[in-house]
Structure 1
């Protein structure tokens, strides 16, 4: 009996320590799982508030939760006394093998995460990226979908977008229309400038501030070139550009201002024999 009592006394501290470690491990597991859910839910809500696609937000929050949950499990097991080094080694080896097998896909995935975080463009923006120009239809973790002006759907890998220049035409509210208008050398420069100023002033879509620039830019081979640079709202860019060019052509024809075309003068010299 005394032997049993002595052994019980010896084992009591060990059992107590193990029980305390088990309780602490359970607390770490429960609290960590709760925090992982809260953090992933908060991140999902923030992405949805930033107009990120719901599928992308859900997938990204799920990955974040899985990573945090794995860390919580390892911490809890370590607290209980389970050797986690082998688990980490196995996970690392598996991750390396998967990474090598899916190198291209992971590159697109990483680029998709960067696009979501840095937000160089959003759904509905008109952009020029990876040699394609169109309106962003949706952003996914591996691909971005764009609709071109002729209503084609272009699916672009995210790595191709982040690996090159991105021109976002919708980021700013206003754009400058850059036009070059040439008149013949025998035309009246003052009259041509007066006509263009009148057309610009009459168009209500053209902003007064910043002021439109109309000036002679070049004495070219066949023409005197003007630059016409009105500022408009981004949504009015293409319609204003087309309308202004059309009105200038009609007005020049009515007022007798010639618009030249490339030509070559050939001079023949008669040689006396």
Structure 2
């Protein structure tokens, strides 16, 4: 059986192990080893993704023999923190060890997320604000900075109504589309329109539809690739609805971190 360690450079593996150790140390000590887990603190956490992240970040820094390991580690930490859930600062603030380091991480968390609310993004378009009709649920957190393709994770539920400016946004829910062909036709129609809403939002209920994410990924990437041949100002964003505090039973090979769509 081939292990991922056999497929990567030794320096990449050392950096990966350092990051995995750092992540593990974020978890509180106690009898309950199942909650919280890293999947709760970082959306769809997968240790194999961490290794891929190290390789990609190292390539950004330079050739292997000139890799600044500490620089790569710090860059990876920032990227990982961008994928952190709302539970991370809550877990960190309740810990009694490494208080100074935890406070720094909490500060970094809020610095990275402070201008990435759903409302802030839409306020850039005609000055319109966005809100959820459910007052008890926090609105989305934007996890990517590329306007053309966004992935948004939120604890707002799939059945909550999100009020948009209909001149800007068209919304569809994945569970209302029965076939792959329907999704493809919706995307083609969106990109071909010369007027009307420029942002298509696809809402996905992660709890019930996570198995469809991989298929949806390739449909979207193919649609965007086709669209790039005839550039337009139309965008596709995913809103992925999560369950707050629910222990994830899905296998790690079906996690969102491997999506690679909007970072």
Coarse TM-score class (shorter-chain normalised)? under 0.3
TM-score by length of 1: 0.21
The higher relative CO (CA closer than 8 Å, separation ≥ 6) is in 2
Structure with the greater alpha carbon radius of gyration: 1
TM-score by length of 2: 0.22
Q: Select the structure that is richer in helix.
A: 1
Q: Select the structure that is richer in strand.
A: 1
